[in-house]
């Protein structure tokens, strides 16, 4: 299992990719819906903060199996939510 530090770096990377794509679209596409892109930036920041907080506070710290399952589910949720946000951005 990857370290918590690496997981947090992955979370930061995914959020920064979403934010960078939004700012790129705001600057390069003339008829882009800037208010929708700004809302997506806000969602990406909330996404980052939520998952960093979840990574810092695992359930069942005394049981290694529970902690592993917690981080496995966290990573699955992370990828699912990122995919949904990226697909939403692609539709804009």
The token duo for 75 is 């990573």
Average pLDDT over residues 50-68: 91
Average pLDDT over residues 42-53: 96
pTM: 0.88
Say yes or no to pLDDT of 1 above 70. no
Q: Which of 88, 71, 1 is nearest to 36 (CA)?
A: 88
pLDDT on residue 92: 80
pLDDT on residue 62: 87
pLDDT tier for residue 83 given thresholds of 50, 70 and 90:
very high
């Amino acid at each position: 299992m990857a370290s918590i530090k690496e997981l947090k770096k992955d979370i930061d990377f995914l959020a920064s990719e979403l934010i960078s794509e939004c700012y790129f679209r705001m600057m390069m596409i003339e008829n882009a819906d800037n208010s929708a892109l700004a809302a997506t930036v806000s969602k990406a920041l909330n996404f980052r903060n939520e998952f960093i907080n979840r990574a810092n506070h695992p359930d069942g710290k005394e049981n290694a199996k529970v902690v592993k399952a917690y981080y496995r589910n966290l990573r699955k949720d992370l990828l699912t939510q990122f995919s949904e946000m990226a697909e939403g951005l692609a539709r804009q």
